[in-house]
Structure 1
């Protein structure tokens, strides 16, 4: 799907052009190198505080080998008890990023619900391919349940969300948690999720949109899947390949109509609805990948953010309607 400048929302065009100049790479080797560079740069934000929130950090043990996983915790300055617990999974094509990069989202969610957010610094694909990231997220989810009383959250109504690759991990984690039956996820928020490695949809073929195009998508999947790339990829790695979407939690998601993930998101929503899962979904015209983060002041971004936050607030009011102790 070839994207022209005229197809892009006017308020998104300038930054889209700048991003193309700064980050577009012509070869896989350059893409991988840029992921390593990004990891070094992002490490400088470790320990960053967020005004108006209590931010703490802890290292928990991974179940498989006892090694340590860093998690960040975000609370209101005056926390309450029995509030929603949200596991937020950062994006970055499975290859870059850290929990600190989602600070704006944390502030929005906590402002709506006084929730507690746990954000894992999961292993990136440049460090370890699938299933490392999923295992880390699941370990963090189990830790949330086990430490619910200390965190001030309910252990039976946890929520999970993330954008892009974080959305992909959100979708994978809800599948995995359903099948493992050790923890209940009440609501999921996989925003414009990265869920289909096959790249066979119209929107993912030959897409040249700003921020994330077909080349970036292909190289990122190759890094994430490792030896599984172009083989029998499981649904826990690429949730678009899953066969059973029943008994998954109510969902909210949105996507831009110009980005590679458009069609796989639409199909994912349809799969959920056919399985009887309630879904709030919107698609935004003239929008490339991550438009709400890249251009948060654009009118279309404001609409998308409002939709997401309103859906989250509805979920909190619906699932946490019982009297809090």
Structure 2
């Protein structure tokens, strides 16, 4: 039985009609997708005065983790330390790189003078288990330890990610809380991939047929990173929805669309943060499918989502003071 679905926003639906959608995701299709060249970062940086630097840091198992550092040109001469956005890209944990969806945090570089650091974590199925989130955590540690060198304020480090990157951002934030380092000022989880169980109503609604990200694609992504790991052995750092305790987290921003797989797990995560006494701002955009504002930033609902995220971040970075 096919479940009824919320309607896609009409403007997004018209734009989506011209996009070829994947009917499935498997090992062969993934290999083909990975052959497509990503959008050159130079294209995204056109018209921006940005200094670039790449560093490669070691992981505990000896692998090398690339980090891309983007900062407003001339920021090194400023006497004021900048906020930092630590960016974790999406791609179902099986694709993408440190430049994926980076136009989103580049808006915050423009608006707030933020230093953006994007991590190139290893991907499944070549990397499995906690490897992906461990890579992201090691990159965050490096950023905090090199705050002076990077010209960033260690009290204003924002961890942010989209889709799989949103789930990894949630996992990294749980790690930082449990290990008491580094300090994270806030987390921004953009339609995050939080729950490997893949059994919510919204997951079942978006099952079958082609799509941007369906229940079956989600299952492939999770199977790729978890392998044969039994449900009872899945760490909450990989699947943050499993965390028993969501207290003590930094202030959190979560958004999703009504017309996507992750809607219900994202709403539930925000609800559980509130239940634990934490602060979370939740937005569920009517008619938004998965990745809507990354794919079609020109749509009105996408512009509203991006603007609202930016306004929230403005309140976090520039809190009002008493007169």
TM-score by length of 2: 0.90
Higher helix share: 1
Query: Aligned to 2:61, what secondary structure does the other structure show?
Result: coil
Distance across 1 between alignment mates of 2:189 and 2:37: 23
Alpha-carbon deviation of 1:226? 1.6
Report the alpha carbon displacement of residue 34 of structure 1 after superposing the two structures with TM.
2.5
Q: Tell me which of 17, 32, 39 is aligned to 2:27.
A: 32
Secondary structure in 2 matching 1:33? helix
Paired residue for 1:58, among 55, 58, 63? 55
Q: Give yes or no for the alignment of 1:9 onto 2:4.
A: no
Whether 1:156 aligns to 2:155 is: yes
Instruction: Could you tell me which runs of 5 or more consecutive residues in structure 1 were left unpaired when the two chains were aligned.
Output: none
Partner of 2:275: 274
- Aligned-residue Cα RMSD (Å) equals 2.1
2:58 touches 2:65 (CA, 8 Å); kept in 1?
A: yes
Going from structure 1 to structure 2, the CA distance change for 1:189 and 1:87 (only over 3 Å counts) comes to same
Aligned to 2:121: 122
Whole-angstrom distance in 2 between the partners of 1:281 and 1:301: 16
Match of 1:110 in 2: 109
- 5 Å-filtered alignment, 1:258-273, equals 258-273=259-274
- Per the TM alignment, residue 45 of structure 1 is displaced from its structure 2 partner at its CA by 4.3
Counterpart secondary structure, 1:216: helix
SS of residue in 2 equivalent to 1:205: helix
How many residues in Structure 1 have an aligned counterpart in Structure 2?
313
Please give the alpha-carbon distance, in whole angstroms, between the structure 1 residues aligned to 2:38 and 2:106.
21
Structure 1 residue 76 and structure 2 residue 72: aligned? yes
User: Match of 1:7, SS?
Assistant: coil
Q: Give the Å deviation of 1:118.
A: 0.8
Q: CA deviation at 1:2?
A: 4.0
Q: Which runs of 4 or more aligned residues in structure 1 lie more than 6 Å from their structure 2 counterparts after TM superposition?
A: 46-49
Specify whether residues 255 and 185 from structure 1 end up closer, same or farther in structure 2 by C-alpha distance, changes over 3 A only: same
Distance (whole Å) between structure 2 residues aligned to residue 163 and residue 240 of structure 1: 16
| 1:184-203 alignment runs, 5 A limit | 184-203=183-202
DSSP-derived class of the 2:27 partner: helix
Structure 2 vs 1, CA of residues 3 and 124 (structure 1 numbering), >3 Å: closer, same or farther? farther
Q: Contact 2:186–2:252 at 8 Å: present in 1 too? A: yes
Q: What SS class does the counterpart of residue 176 from structure 1 fall into?
A: helix
